[in-house]
Every structure is written in C-alpha cells, then in structure tokens.
Amino acid sequence: MMPGKIFIWGTLFHCILTSALFSADKKILLLAGKPSHGWNAHEFVAGSELLAECLNEGGLNIRTIVSEGWPDNEATLKDLASVVIYTDGEDLHVAKGQTETLKTLHSNGVGLVLLHYALEGADANMNQFYFDSIGGFFEIDWSVNPNWTPDKLILGVHPITSGVGSFLFEDEWYFHMRFRENMTGISPILSTHPTESVLGKDGPRSGNPALREELNNGVIQHLAWAAENGEKGRGFALTGGNYHHNWSDDDFRKLVLNGIIWTAGLDVPSGGVTSKVLGLIRYKTISEAIARNDLDDVKRHVEKNPDVVNTLGRSKMTPLHEAIMRKRPDAALILLQGNADPNITTSRSQTSMHLAIDRNLLEVAAALLEVGVDLSVRDSQGWTALHLAAAKNRNEIAKLLIENGADVKRLSAGGGTPLHEAAVGGDADLIHLLLEAGIDPKIISDHNKSALDIAMEYENSVAVKILCNL
C-alpha cells in the first residue's frame, strides 16, 4: 500500500462556518482514496479537503487531518474522535488490509463515517466490520447503484438532520443496502421511495428480483443512516457523494458535516453546522455547461473566471456565440450579464447579432442591442445584421434593428440593400417595413440588379407586385 500524504488544511475553499463553540478539542481523520472517475466524479481528495476546511473554520475546536491514502505514520491514528472514509471500494479501498486497525479504533469509541463507494468493503472481513460498526454495507447482487434524482427525500428525526432543509439532485444514490436484522441500533437519516424505473436489468449492481418486489410493495429505501453501538464508536453512512459539484448544496453538505461531528461525540447545534463554499463547477468547460443547458453551472464558470465569457474557442467562437448557436437564450443572457462582448466576431466575421438572427432569437437580439452590439459590421458574405435579417425573413428582428438605429442605407459588400435580400422570399410585411424605413428600391447592386430584378428572378410575386407599383 502506498504511504499516505498528510495535509492539515487552511482556507482553500473560502469556507465560512458558524456554530456554537465546543468545549473539547476533537481530532478527525479524513481518509481519501485516489480520484478514479475523471472530472467531477469520485474526487475523493478534493471532497475530503472541502469537508475538512468546513470543519476547521469557525472556532469549533476541531482539528482535521486529510490523508491521501492510508497514513504511514501511526501517530496520525492516535487520539482520534472520528474517521471519515471517502474512497473507491473493493480492491481500491483506501483501508484495504487495515480492517483490524479500524476494529480497534471502533472498539475504543472512535466514530466512523463512510461516504459513497467506501460502503463497498475491500473484502468480506471489512463488510462484516461495517455491519458491526455502521450497521450496513453495499452488498453485490442485493444493493444497487443507479444515477438518479429522487422525487422526494425523507429526513429522519435525529441530531444529524438538525437545520437540514430539502434538497433534490442527481447523484449515484445507492440503496437496498444490507442492514442488520430489524435495523437494530440504526436510525434512518435520509430515505425515499424509488420507483422500479431507476433500475437497470438484473445484475450485480443494477437490479434483482428481491428489490423489485420491495419497490412494488412500497418498501422505503435508506440513502443515509446513523448507528449507535453502545460503548463503541458511532457510525454514519451516506450512499451519495459521487459528483463533486453536489457539495455546493448547503443542505446536503450540512447533513454530512452534522454526521461527522455527531460521530465524533459532539452535540450538533440546533441549526446544524452551517458552511458556505464557492460554487463548485459541474462540467469541466463552460462549453459543456452551455451544451447541457445547465444555467447554474454557466453562472459558476463565470463567477470563477469572469474572463471566460470572452475566451475564443473552436471556430473562433466565444461562449456567447456557442450559447446562441445552440439556441440557449437563457445562457446567452447570463453571459451578457457577465460582460460578454457582443462584437467579437467568429471566423466568418459574424457578430453575436448575426448569430441571433440566424437562430431567430428575438429576446437575445434585444439584449444585444441593449449592450451596444455594432450593427454596421459585415459578415463574410458582406451582409450587415439587417441584410441577414432581411435574407432570413426575420421580420420582428428586422423591425427591432431599424427601431434601434440600423443604417438602412448601408450596402452589402456586393452593393446591395437589405431590400435586395428580402426580394428573394420576403413577405409583404417585410418589403413594406424596409421601404418605409427609407431604403431606395431603385439602387442597382454590383451585379447590376435592382430589388425588383431579384424578386422577378426568384418569382416572389408578392414582392414583384409591390415593387412594380413604385
């Protein structure tokens, strides 16, 4: 086993915690496994650091130590009040080969907290220890690990739920855990009624006949629980914790912080352990957040790095361009509020207004006008925004552009007016709008054509009728 890296953490996460002062100094060890699932999942070290920082701040008389891997210094295990284990399970379990040490700590009154995959022990001996210490564990061919969002979460009546409000989000919530008979010594903390739809086909971790029967009969399933074991250490377990960004949820975080200090033998304040952290990013890039239309995550990206709103990505596109092209108007508005520059052009020399016209996003077009988008810019086709609106038959946007000062006399690179473009397929309303705005229908383009010539060429009878009568 690789020796563990020991850290005593400072204010890495700007975590501010307020609570009553405790009289006894408590030492809590957080054992973190190596990250294993890439961005935002199974970030055990980062999650342990965050929880440790929340516990360290605010005068709680708590000292936390985070160990990446099992600590190689036995002194780290001295005088502990509780051990928190956040790791992969099975062969990658951070405590593999250390079950006897955990048993000794537990027998001496040291609390134990198991988060997520840590609930699947490294071997049968460890699972039996879990059974004795926290009252349950993840059992293959019995328990399941779907990614899902519960419809409703039921909080148990217990000090650990003090001050905890409702929360609902997607996580890899395990359930149908193997518990002690009659739940002896176990208090449900977080429970729900999953439907069979969250299960996969029957398999080692995806479903089984016994579970399906329970769900069909409405048997409640527990996602977190606490265990009392007489003179031995207390236990707390949570099956969620797969996604790092979920630690941004104040109530979810409070539940776990409450559970940790309870296992350490401390009284949980009536309002729970309150903490604040900077928003944790769910998706690695703002582009992915936009693509998935996760508006909260778009906001978190902007808050973390305000300059990201004007960073050029693929095809020389900014996040604002991407939001418009993907028809994510709410994301575009968030980016504009974050000072996204509407006049940065794409590789095709299009401003954000050109893109908003292309995607027919009237609300975004209005917002772009409010922040000063340049309507005189020509794209690679030589069109201004008004030329494009006319060519795309975007009547409402064309009207908005004209009302907001678009230069109706500005010609395209080919010497044409917006009326030339509208003549291809524009309806009567669009033709009249452009004429009433002051466009001269007799202008001849560089291709030696008037708007009427184009209307006749494309057999736009409505436009021909109007233009012939001028």
- Name the CA radius of gyration of the chain, rounded: 31
Angle at 117 between CA 116 and CA 119, to 5 degrees: 85
One-letter amino acid of 239: T
Rounded Cα distance between 44 and 459, Å, is: 66
Rounded Cα distance between 222 and 130, Å, is: 16
> What is the rounded average pLDDT of the residues 319-333?
98
Q: Give the position of tokens 């575009």.
A: 332
What are residue 438's phi and psi, to 5 degrees? 110, 15
122-162 pLDDT, tens digit each: 999 999 999 999 999 999 999 999 999 999 999 999 999 99
Rounded Cα distance between 353 and 364, Å, is: 8
Q: Give the position of tokens 């000063």.
A: 372
Which burial class, exposed, middle or buried, applies to 38 when counting CB atoms under 10 A from its CB (0-12, 13-18, 19+)?
exposed
Rounded Cα distance between 446 and 141, Å, is: 75
**pLDDT value at position 349?**
94
The helix-helix angle for 99-107 and 124-133 (nearest 10°) equals: 10
| Contact yes or no for 299/263 (Cβ under 8 A) | no
Rounded Cα distance between 450 and 441, Å, is: 7
Rounded Cα distance between 428 and 362, Å, is: 20
Whether 176 has a pLDDT exceeding 70, the answer reads yes
For residue 269, the SS3 value is: coil
Token digits for 107?
Answer: 């027998």
Domain end point (choices 327, 357, 374): 374
Rounded Cα distance between 159 and 270, Å, is: 8
Same domain, 365 and 379: no
Rounded Cα distance between 171 and 360, Å, is: 36
Single pTM value for the model: 0.76
223-236 pLDDT, tens digit each: 999 999 999 999 99
- Specify the higher pLDDT residue, 40 or 17: 40
Whether 9 has a pLDDT exceeding 70, the answer reads no
Same domain, 152 and 215: yes
Token digits for 332?
Answer: 């575009």
Same domain, 331 and 420: no
Rounded Cα distance between 257 and 322, Å, is: 39
Same domain, 330 and 403: no
> What is the rounded average pLDDT of the residues 340-362?
97
Same domain, 160 and 252: yes
Same domain, 272 and 307: no
Whether 16 has a pLDDT exceeding 70, the answer reads no
> How many domains are there within the chain?
3
Helix (H) or strand (E) holding 388: helix 385-391
**pLDDT value at position 56?**
87
User: CA nearest 191: which of 118, 136, 265?
Assistant: 136
Provide the domain limits for residue 433: 375-470
One-letter amino acid of 148: W
Domain end point (choices 229, 258, 276): 276
Same domain, 445 and 431: yes
Q: What is the CATH number of the domain that holds 364?
A: 1.25.40.20
Rounded Cα distance between 105 and 38, Å, is: 32
Same domain, 256 and 363: no
Rounded Cα distance between 241 and 171, Å, is: 7
Rounded Cα distance between 24 and 265, Å, is: 10
Domain end point (choices 276, 306, 328): 276
> What is the rounded average pLDDT of the residues 73-98?
96
